[in-house]
Structure 1
Amino acid sequence: MTTTGSQESKSPSELIDGRIRELGDWRGDMLARLRALIHKADPAVVETWKWRGVPVWEHDGMICTGETYKSVVKLTFAKGAALPDPSKLFNSSLEGNTRRAIDFQQGEEVNEEAFKALVLAAIALNTSKGRK
């Protein structure tokens, strides 16, 4: 990631802003849109920056990560396998016992209500008394 100044002096939110600007195409627009929906679902969400360049959203534990590739923006839900997905948003990384992901492609519509419900379900799981 090309930035001016030290990355250590920037907040995670500033680093995510920089990633969105750096992408400068539909992937940046999609990441910004998904980020806004996460904040809309949970105004108390905490943004972090991990693994040298991965945006992460947390609330009492990890909700999801946002990675960008050449042809997709991938949101991986840390405990996705345990989440209800009645709208069948999960379309990637379905073989594992823990994580589930959604690949968003260029021009794809986002089911905003279903996406926000998934974020809220992840938060509920993180905050439940039975969590490990």
Structure 2
Amino acid sequence: MAGDWRASRVDDLRALILEAEPDATEEAKWKKASNPDGVPTFSLDGLICTIETYKDKVKVTFARGASLDDPSGIFNASLDAGTRRAVDIVEGDELDEAAFVALVREAVSANRA
């Protein structure tokens, strides 16, 4: 993955999450042979989101996404899930960075409620 668009996108997402919540903690979880680096997870008063890299996309899954207000319609995956919601980003997609930052902040607020 190193050097391709997905690695760059993960770096961009990481920066946006930390811009939204500088106190968020990043951990790599669920390491396995097929993914030795694990899955980046971000937490603050509970799990905020995970970032998974697939062959054709980067997926940001918000742990409590179904309970979050999404006025910009940024969620585009896992829309029928009971608790979580996700944002799938494929190469060339434009991400509404302000809406993403707002979503991270709302996720933290939900964790604190």
TM over 0.5, shorter chain: yes
Q: Which ranges of structure 1 fall in alignment gaps of 5 or more residues? A: 1-21
Q: Give the number of aligned pairs.
A: 107
What CA distance in whole angstroms lies between the structure 2 residues aligned with 1:75 and 1:24?
A: 20
What SS is found at the alignment partner of 2:88? strand
Alignment correspondent of 2:25: 46
Alignment correspondent of 1:121: 106
What SS is found at the alignment partner of 1:117? helix
Residue 60 (structure 1) shift: 0.5
TM-score by length of 1: 0.79
Residue 26 of structure 1 pairs with residue 11 of structure 2: no
Identical residues among aligned pairs (%): 52
Residue 107 of structure 1 pairs with residue 92 of structure 2: yes
User: What does 1:1-132 align with in structure 2 at a 5 Å threshold?
Assistant: 22-52=1-31, 53-128=38-113
What CA distance in whole angstroms lies between the structure 2 residues aligned with 1:49 and 1:30?
A: 17
**Pairwise CA RMSD:** 0.8
Q: Which ranges of structure 2 fall in alignment gaps of 5 or more residues? A: 32-37
What SS is found at the alignment partner of 1:102? strand
Amino acid at match of 1:125: A
Residue 23 (structure 1) shift: 2.8
Query: Which consecutive aligned stretches of 4+ in structure 1 deviate over 4 angstroms post-superposition?
Result: none
What CA distance in whole angstroms lies between the structure 1 residues aligned with 2:22 and 2:87?
A: 22
Alignment correspondent of 2:35: none
What SS is found at the alignment partner of 1:23? coil
What CA distance in whole angstroms lies between the structure 2 residues aligned with 1:109 and 1:33?
A: 12
TM-score by length of 2: 0.92
Residue 84 (structure 1) shift: 0.3
Of structures 1 and 2, the larger Rg is shown by 1
Normalized per residue, which structure has more helix? 1
